[in-house]
Structure 1
Amino acid sequence: MTFSSLSLVITLSIIYISGCSPAIPTGGTFTIDLIHRDSVDSPFYDGSMSYSQRMSHTLQRSFINAKRINKNSNNTKSKYQTEIIPDHGEFLLNISFGDPSHKVLAIADSGSDLSWIQCKPCVQCSEHKAPIFDPKKSSTYEPVNCNSGTCKAISTVETKCSKTNKCQFFESYADGSFSNGTVAKESVTLGDKVLQNIIFGCSFSNAGVFRPSWGGIVGLGGGNESLVSQIRSIVPGKFSYCLIPYPKTDEVQNKSSKMTFGDIDFGPNVVSTPLVPKEPKTYYYVTLEAISVGNKRFDVNLGSLRPLQKGNMIVDSGTTLTMLPRNIYEDVEATIRSAINVRTLKDPQKALSLCYRATKVSDVPKFTMHFDGADVELSRENVFVMTSKHIMCLAFRPTSDVAIYGNLAQMDFRVGYDLDNNLVSLEPYDCEKLILEFLADFVVVDLEEDNAIPLVLGRLFLETAGALIVVKARKSTFRDRGKQMSFQTRHIVNPPPTPISSLNVVASVKPTKDMIGNGKPIKCEGRVEKETIVYRIMKRLIGL
């Protein structure tokens, strides 16, 4: 067998994160992992728990989070008092503060604005397993002056002036928990993106029911102090996420969902609905007009003499179940019950009301959420949740408070928030496919291990991937089956005699059985520990 000489050699450079991530888009846009709290990469993970136990906890957190949202959105108590701490969020993210950077695994909370972490010296702090951030060791830490416009503009937490003229924040919760400290500016790192002068709370005193396994809160709400709002001058005022489905039964969750800050190109099946400005600004309000089950449509405002209330539903990734207005929920449940026409069972978690043995249900009726200007058709997995190995239940609950569009209904959708144009966009998408994957024919060659030989993407691969390499712009683009991924190229540190370029890919590449043979996808999986050039031992592929 002979091989043509290659005029271009490309190696893969990676950044260590858990699971696989899509390529970093060009421009200011960047992507990070959202780690589910039941993932093996989460400090909350408990391998001794069964699927049923984990799901029971998930449903209880959903009820608690819904209560928190309703209390906060209709707060009749102290202006600054939050009903429940955001300890019950479903997703975490890795974020680093300071220079040198200090890594924190924090709750990603779409129901909070001001981010805060524990800091030294901690006068009164809850137990924390990981090292605590020391602002004295950071060259970029800058306390905010209490007379500054920044301090005066903070509206979601109580602020006061210290004896040293520093802006102090006081975050209190109805259960007696609290977090107090200094409002400061700091450099923050997300993925490979360094964000300067981010406002956050450095907590020197906190107590209550905070968990020792997480290091703080990252506010992703719509208020001015949230991380999303602060970086609008750095990246476009847009962010999106793609949530992978829950693992089935006792499967181990070892994959991460993705969150992108900045522009994202949606496909032709995207629909959009207006974001409705309301107080508090923290939440993302949309207008639910009706729900269809099969050919029956149920209007939210049916029978009411008043016009439809705009912003009657909150989109929240931290709440698992979808909470529907009580009047429409009863019609929806009755119609589904009639359409499926199979003997119902009791929910083993005693939380949901309409349940079936999953194997007995062959088809479910078409289910569509009618938002203002956007009809979103949900799949079986969006409508029903497995509460045990064999029983599935309707993943909706009635509420007399504000309705909530939960994360089960959002799974396998790309959900994008355009804060500049006040829009939420939804596109059906297989979120596990947000990996570098190409259908390609190739040959595995038995070679001796040689760390001087990088992984080579040859002409056949580049042709299959529809590669476009712009040398001057240091940009490479791959296209395959309607998807497009762009990479920033850079020179390798300590390069070999012949200069080569590397693709900066947020992913680790591990050979799998699917890599051998024709027409099989090349999959990206596994995890790594630090930035490096990855060399593959080709002879090991033969033994797979």
Structure 2
Amino acid sequence: MDTGSQLIWMQCQPCQSCVSQNATLFSPSSSSSYTTESCSSTACASLPRQSSQSNACQYSYSYASQASTQGQLGTETLTLLSPEASTSAFPRLVFGCGLNNHGEYGGAAGLVGMGQSSLSLPSQLSSVLGGKKFSNCLLSHATLPSSSSASPSSLVIGEAAAESASRMQFTPIVANPAVVASLYYIDVLGFSVNNVRLNIPASTFSIQADGRGGIILDSGTTYTYLPSAAFSVIQQAFDTFIKLPRYSNHPYLPLCYSVQEGQETTAIPPFTFTVHLQGMDLAVPLDNYFTKVDEQEPIV
């Protein structure tokens, strides 16, 4: 489920190049309800890149991680399971039938685009479910799905997603007028380490006139990436408060410390970020800004 993407796609037979997945490959030829989208369809015109082969719409989609998928755009009946174990069917859902796919998807059969485009899942189901609203409480990556204490995380789409709104706090989605994209931008004001607000100008995170900059919410990106000017200040703050030896040999994560067993929770200070709404501070759980790479060294 990717809030930074617009396309729903899954791997299909006959697969020319497919990544490893846990489920059986979908076979369009075995489905009586599968149809291909023509090149003249509205859905095909909505793709950022498309081509035609025997009047069937061909798509090509790539991601910042260098992963990619190419294939044929089609429609199929989507059946979703509710928390109460009932099912709901949604006919003629437009999706990509991936025949040439590359990247790492953790054993998943494909990807569900949740962005602000006409091809995303919330947009396609909006007329049936009462709008494009959706909510999802993400499980911590530190909680194993097989754990007896782990509860499943539900995705709620449509008007039902607003039922608990009175118990929530909100920050506005910010528009980026210079970029035609499905991304969700938010207005971040700053960061704090050990409850000390860092001296980072709020303009560091602003959207520029040419569309560059800004902070997006992207469930498909593993790490949080910040401008180097902001990251250097955060790094200095952690160095000030963490009294542990630095570990400098990690290939791509620069802020690392060597710890002994049990030191993680006592040695690492709290980390918060401030968003637009009334200067609301959101505390980041420790497991979401430091992680252990082996038995000796945690990294951020």
In percent, how many aligned pairs have the same letter? Answer: 25
Change beyond 3 A, Cα 1:308–1:316 = closer
Q: Does 1:316 align with 2:218?
A: yes
| 1:251-270 to 2 correspondences below 5 Å | 253-254=146-147, 255=150, 256-262=152-158, 263-264=161-162, 265-266=164-165, 268=167, 270=169
- 2:190 maps to 1:190: no
Alpha-carbon distance in structure 2 between the residues aligned to 1:244 and 1:211: 17
Contact 2:4–2:217 (Cα < 8 Å) also in 1: no
Query: Which of 214, 230, 238 is matched with 1:336 structurally?
Result: 238
Match of 1:283 among 180, 183, 190: 183
Is it true that 1:219 corresponds to 2:120 in the alignment? Answer: no
Task: Read off the aligned partner of 2:272 and give its amino acid letter.
Answer: T
Q: For residues 150 and 296 of structure 1, what CA distance do their matches in structure 2 show?
A: 46
Change (3 A) 1:359 1:280: same
Structure 2: give runs of 5+ residues left out of the alignment: 82-86
**Partner Cα distance (2:171, 2:106) in 1:** 40
| Residues 222, 284 of structure 1: 8 Å contact kept | yes
Distance 2:285 2:67 in 1: 41
Offset, 1:257 = 3.6
Greater CA drift, 383-392 or 208-217: 208-217
Contact persistence 2:11–2:101 (CA under 8 A): no
Number of the residue aligned with 1:359:
263
* Distance in 1, Cα, partners of 2:101 & 2:282: 42
Higher RCO by CA contacts (8 Å cutoff, separation 6 or greater): 1
- Worse-superposed segment, 224-233 or 268-277: 268-277
Cα 1:257–1:352 shift into 2, 3 Å: farther
Q: 5 Å matches for 1:125-144?
A: 125-126=17-18, 130-144=23-37
**Matching residue's letter, 2:51:** T
For normalisation by structure 2, the TM-score amounts to 0.74
Structure-2 change in CA distance of 1:198 and 1:267 (3 Å): same
Task: Give the CA deviation at 1:144.
Answer: 2.3
Change (3 A) 1:176 1:387: closer
Instruction: Name the CA shift for 1:173/1:356 in 2 (closer, same or farther; >3 Å).
Output: closer
Question: Which residue pairs with 2:42 in the alignment?
Answer: 149
Higher percent of residues as strand: 1
Equivalent residues in 2 for 1:129-528 (5 A)? Answer: 130-152=23-45, 154-160=46-52, 162-163=53-54, 165-171=55-61, 179-181=70-72, 183-191=73-81, 192-203=87-98, 205-206=99-100, 213-235=107-129, 236-247=131-142, 253-254=146-147, 255=150, 256-262=152-158, 263-264=161-162, 265-266=164-165, 268=167, 270-277=169-176, 279-293=179-193, 294-301=195-202, 308-309=206-207, 312-340=214-242, 342-346=243-247, 349-350=250-251, 351-357=253-259, 358-359=262-263, 362=266, 364-373=268-277, 374-393=280-299, 395=300
Contact residue 348 and residue 387 of structure 1 kept, 8 A: no
AA of the residue aligned to 1:179: Q
Which residue does 2:84 correspond to in 1?
Answer: none
State the Cα deviation string for residues 186-231 of structure 1 (Å, max 9, x = none): 211222332222111224x425567895433322222221222211
Q: Which has the larger radius of gyration?
A: 1
Q: Secondary structure at the match of 1:329?
A: helix
> Would you say how many aligned residue pairs link Structure 1 and Structure 2?
275
Distance across 1 between alignment mates of 2:121 and 2:103 = 24
Q: Taking structure 1 as reference, are residues 177 and 232 closer, same or farther at Cα in structure 2, changes over 3 Å only? A: closer
CA contact (8 A) 1:240 1:261 kept: yes
Alpha-carbon spacing, 1:245–1:389, altered in 2? closer, same or farther (3 Å): farther
In structure 2, distance between residues paired with 1:136 and 1:359: 56
CA contact (8 A) 1:111 1:283 kept: yes
In structure 2, how many angstroms separate the alpha carbons of the residues matched to 1:211 and 1:316? 15
